[in-house]
Structure 1
Amino acid sequence: MTVAEALKSIHNRSWVLPAIQREFVWSSDQICVLFDSLMRGYPVGSFLLWNVIPDQAAQFTFYDFLADYHEKNPYARVAQISAGRNVTAVLDGQQRFTSLNIGLYGSYAERLPRKWATNPDAYPRKRLYLNLLSRTGDEELGLTYDLQFLTEQEAESELDGQRPWFRVADILQLENSGPAMMAALEQHGLSGSQPFNTLYNLYEGVRTKTAINAYLEESTDADRVLDIFVRVNSGGTKLSNSDLLLSMATNQWRELDAREEIRSLVTELNQEQGRPFAFSKDLVLKAGLVLTEAPDFRFKISNFTQANMERLEKAWPQMRASLLRSARLLATFGLSERTLTADSVVIPLAYYLHSHGHDDAYIISSAHSKDRVAVRSWVFRSLLKRGVWGSGLDTLLNRICTVIRQSPPSDGFPAGDIEAAMAARGKSLQFGPEEIEELLDLQYSKARTFAVLALLYPGLNLSQDVHEDHIFPRSRFRRSALTRMGIPAEKIEDYLVRANGLPNLQLLAGTPNVEKSDAWPWEWLDGPHFPTAQTREEYATRNDLDLLPSEPVGFLDFYEGRRLRMRERLLSVLGESAASTDVLGE
């Protein structure tokens, strides 16, 4: 059938997506390539469909095809299937059909470069347009035709009274490829063979050529269909185990919609306390196995039995709350998507809160202050140590959770016992001299830099807005400026190399950091931020700023002196058991 005919089946909900399908993952570039192939008469691959009889349609969960894609919410709606109606489920071809649907009926909204995710203007709604005047498309993509996603304002651009951008969706409104097409070209101020041929090829590709070739599976054996699905999805963007297992949970839960629950939880986790995280549904499913005491944490079909899924559904409200509390706790530690180098650390935290019955008061209550210090020290140490949360994760989680389960709630977080169990699995949190040197070489804005500074210089309320600040302002370290300061030419490169180094960094609350701006550190210390000489001296001593010179020429000596101090602090902090570490203040 033609593309237009196939999309009619999608829009009258005769064709739907089974729950075992993952979310739409194609980029806007991939959509353009697909339409370019249609216009060039290239094959776009075969499709696999499954005829679902009414009895089976009532047993499974299906989803509609996405039309308006938004990067922050790339999820399709649950399809409403009328009783007694059969449907056709798309087993292979979801990404292509969704791409065609977006190009011909919908829009694509992705974040603009250098725009914050929280900025509502960062995701402009764009539709697919075809440039009728251009003879070449994006060479890197291998496009013959110039296809782009544009905003309406961008598409309205004119050149000498001509509007070259034709909205691809409008090809469905043309009554024919003759007079109607000529009228459309006139509306754009266009004429000649080049625009006509380009538009005609779009019409042919969408409405005339039978580009959609599909195999229809008629079997009523769901196991056979599932096996076919797994096999045909073994190539391309491979279907993950969590996608398949999530679909099984979706079909086995009785009261709740597993997919919707997990989607909404992932969204909420990633917006915790206004700090963006990047937790995935894989992590949530893994946490579900851990928190419900499944005997095996691996993503295996045998672990997603009906009994396990019933237990997960029953425990879902409590499990959900524990995961959210854990993310909130990580946010109060100042961590975010950029600095949380291993998302898996949230699972043992959730297990601890869940199994020991901690509620929301744990996050803020002074009664748990000492316990939070132990948790935070362990979290930071595990994030700084390379390889802890990599291979052997399931075994590690099992060992950690066993220690937590066996520890009396009155003893608090069993950091020492956890570290001993981790060391027995080759995951020691002890740092050798070479590892300490590696940490000392960290640079500004690197993922682990925040955790090192937080360990070295406690005292800030990390739940507030905290910045990594250059003690000697980076903006002052330009070659010309350094030359004017009298810095010898042979030392200028040393200044530039060290400007972003760890010894030139500190953590500052947002407001003081803005106030500091590009001031020299001795100027800032003498400013109004420190009301008395005593508070100034205490701050300088606590943060190893008592080494500060009174002029830029002393920067290199300050840098090396503070690096030595940092080494001593790290050897002290990372050389002791987390259970006895008490350097982190609330």
Structure 2
Amino acid sequence: MSYKPSSLFNLIQSINKGLFLPHIQRPFVWEEEQMLKLFDSLMRNYPIQTLLFWKTKDEIKARKFMEEVEWDPNLSDYYEPNVSKAGCEKTFVLDGQQRLQTLYATFAGAIKGANEERLEAYFDTSNGDVMSEDGLLYALKFSKVALPRPWYRVADLVGKDGQRNSEELADDMNEHLDEAEDAQPAEARPNSADQKARQKRVRRNFAQLVSLLREDKHFWIQELDGVANNYTYGTVLDIFVRVNSGGTKLDASDLMFAAMKEGWDEIEEAIEETTALLNSTKIGFDKTFPLKCLLVVHGRGAEASAEKFTGADGAKLLADMKEGWDKAEAAFQELHDFLKTDLKVYSEKVVRSHNSFIPLFDYLYFNPKPNERSRALMRGYYYKAQLFGWYSHGTDKVINGLHSVVGQHCTGSFPMQSVKDYFSGRGYSTNLYKQDLEQTRLRFLLLNLVYVDQMGGSPFDVKCKGNEPHIDHIYPRHALSTKLGLGGAEVNTLGNFRFVGATDNIRKRAELPDSYFGRLKSYGCPIEKHLLLDEFATDTKKLVFDESTYRSFRDRRLQRIWEICDRTVNPELATAKAGGEG
């Protein structure tokens, strides 16, 4: 096994040429917030762990990195059959996909926005002196339009500025900013000291940015050479499972327990039991989650740190937590029951933010045994939070802000309107509209909502490893395109998508729907839960492969999906329309 440094430029140049992802890798799962944190860490010169590669000539299915990050990609679009063949030398990323995909999108590609627009990375070259509310020193934005200076398009460092050094880039930026500041009215101009400090930050930022891209000291690679040595697929698969299972890592909760043991020596056991209870819902909570819940309900804020459990204030907090444990334990049990019986969560993949559950615990702590109306509103809150990215930025600040809304006894039902007012004030969407059904990044969550509503969970056995639901076309995409001449917008619509088990999807042929669903029906499969329209489920021969039938089926099924989603995500609107409480 070799261990060597590499420049980011060389890594980017090798992506999708010699460097690929093996089919065993999960999809890209980082949210934009995590991408920004990685960039901030690199600008601070923090280490980001070693990348693990495997060179081989074996026949292994190879997948490309995304030049534009899609949040719910069809992975089959990215497979490279020629590279996958035996005898073709290629290098696979076993550990580091999330980091490399982020860096590729930042320095040479883009991400896709909510409306499928291309968003490129821009860096504020003048910052680095003030911490943002998200805990970041270095601001990076993905934008569909060019941002004015001091913002710098990061991809230019690989493109048009590829031959320029950091001094030239910094001097050019500072000269432009100096001229802009000098043109301001005298009272608005920064003083000489502030201007010099900004010039210094710009020089430092460009020096670090150029260093990250061009120098062989920030990225280290361990490579398993399966061409020169005997690294079989079985051995590499075992290594892959181990490096991606986490191992023994010290997290924030371990540090907090060390500070807490003196005040309440049984707390770690209580938290571990609570975490195990919550994880029986198939969600991978860590021990920090219940600790953050307890901090919030006891008025200490969601920020998890060992310092909160030290000194006189820490002793009082522990005493309060110990005294109120029975109440907290009952709220954790109610949260577990809500996840299992109301949300019917069956997989980690359907949850975008664990932190979105903390306000639900906060509410249950002060409002135990909610009525059915409150539970419907809590379901609506959960889906809104996941769909609209309510917890994508400034998570702890959001949780603390909501504590004043849900962290008290609430007369009536769950305070949905106050929650919506809070998020709309932060610029987030708060209602689901029919046009939202066509947002690519929402596809999986919306389909999951429909299947949970219709089947009470996943339609497939997710206990079988690797059998998570995949999104698949009902009317085959290729046939619609080649035989009926329909474009992507007509084919790739939620009205034509359903879930299929991953193992079935691998074996599935591009069979026409009347034949395919007719076969499933003969096997006793509840095809009405997939098709949603009784007329076609009763007689699958009505799934005729022609343009008019397809469009009619697709549009009517989309309307049915909308009715289910609207009822679930916007329960407060249905009540308001009926003249009841909002």
The TM-score by the shorter chain falls in which range? 0.3 to 0.5
TM-score, length basis structure 1:
0.44
